[in-house]
Amino acid sequence: MLKDNLMSVQDNIKQAAMRSGRELSDITLIAVSKTKPVEMIKEIYDLGVRDFGENKVQELVAKYDQLPGDIKWHLIGHLQTNKVKYIVDKVYMIHSVDSLKLAREISREAVKRGITVNILIEVNVAGEESKYGISPDELEETVRQVAELPGIIIRGLMTVAPYVVDSEENRPIFVKMKQFVVDIIQKNIDNVCMDCLSMGMSGDYTVAVEEGATYIRVGTSIFGERNYK
Ligand SMILES: *Cc1c(COP(=O)(O)O)cnc(C)c1O
């Protein structure tokens, strides 16, 4: 059953890429495995997926220890500064950098270990009260400040779009995100790469692909509904 889910998501991505004239190789599916057991992750891993997303530090660390070492772990949820030290050397990318303070802490821990950490700056495009992320007004300044920190490289932007029934409602948000990327590239800021744009979830990933997502984060459509006890 997981296999059918995965194949259908992969097929939808392919169709969306074709519609918008994009290369499939520019789009990476992150299987969001939060709350799901390692057996299910292993099943998806065995089907060839290597990018997995978790939103909690403790859960990521526990799964990291039980699963193959070639998995690229993406931290996609809000990260508290006091937990950075537990994951900085385990994650392939931190998508949810939502403050200068957090970026400073990641930088400090990275330098301590002599590593470079890939990060994305999380943008709260829709200005939702309930969401983390930098407001569009402060984005350029934040990128400039974070870019100066050692031990981290800004690879791009990430957003968690509003929950909508009709995915078309989020298209303007994805268009804006792509524009932010283009704008920042034009500023030519040192240490800023902007080759990654993380947006789109189960409800709207095909629209996100059409508008330029390089990472889509899909949980429910692969693993089924989550059961938060
Ligand atoms: C849970 C989560 C997802 C996946 O959501 P689905 O709707 O289950 O696909 C994507 N991004 C973030 C940041 C999440 O927390």
Cβ(94)–Cβ(75) under 8 Å? yes
DSSP sequence for 46-80:
HTT--EEEES-HHHHHHHHHHS-TT-EEEE-S---
Q: How do the domains of the chain map onto residue ranges?
A: 2-222
Which atom of ligand 1 is nearest the CA belonging to 96?
13
Query: Which pLDDT band holds residue 229 (cuts at 50, 70, 90)?
Result: low
**Residue-wise pLDDT tens digits, 118-143:** 999 999 998 888 899 999 999 999 99
- Give the pocket of ligand 1 (CB within 6 Å): 32, 34, 55, 76-77, 160, 201-203, 217-221
- Pocket test of ligand 1: the residue of 32, 198, 204 to mutate, having most ligand atoms within 8 Å of its CB, is 32
For ligand 1, atom 7, name the residue with the nearest CA: 202
User: Can you tell me whether residue 21 is helix, strand or coil?
Assistant: coil
d(CA 154, CA 102): 13
For ligand 1, atom 12, name the residue with the nearest CA: 76
Which atom of ligand 1 is nearest the CA belonging to 34?
1
Q: How large a percentage of the chain has pLDDT more than 70?
A: 100
Query: Which pLDDT band holds residue 227 (cuts at 50, 70, 90)?
Result: confident
For ligand 1, atom 13, name the residue with the nearest CA: 76
How close is the Cα of 186 to the center of ligand 1, in Å?
30
**Residue-wise pLDDT tens digits, 40-87:** 999 999 999 999 999 999 999 999 999 999 999 999 999 999 999 999
d(CA 207, CA 33): 22
d(CA 216, CA 208): 8
User: Can you tell me whether residue 108 is helix, strand or coil?
Assistant: helix
Q: Is the pTM of this model over 0.85?
A: yes
Tokens 């330029």, residue located:
212
**Mean pLDDT, rounded, of the chain:** 97
Cβ(24)–Cβ(12) under 8 Å? no
pLDDT (0 to 100) of residue 126: 86
d(CA 203, CA 72): 23
Q: Assign a CATH topology to domain 2-222.
A: TIM Barrel (3.20.20)
**Residue-wise pLDDT tens digits, 141-186:** 999 999 999 999 999 999 999 999 999 999 999 999 999 999 999 9
pLDDT (0 to 100) of residue 223: 98
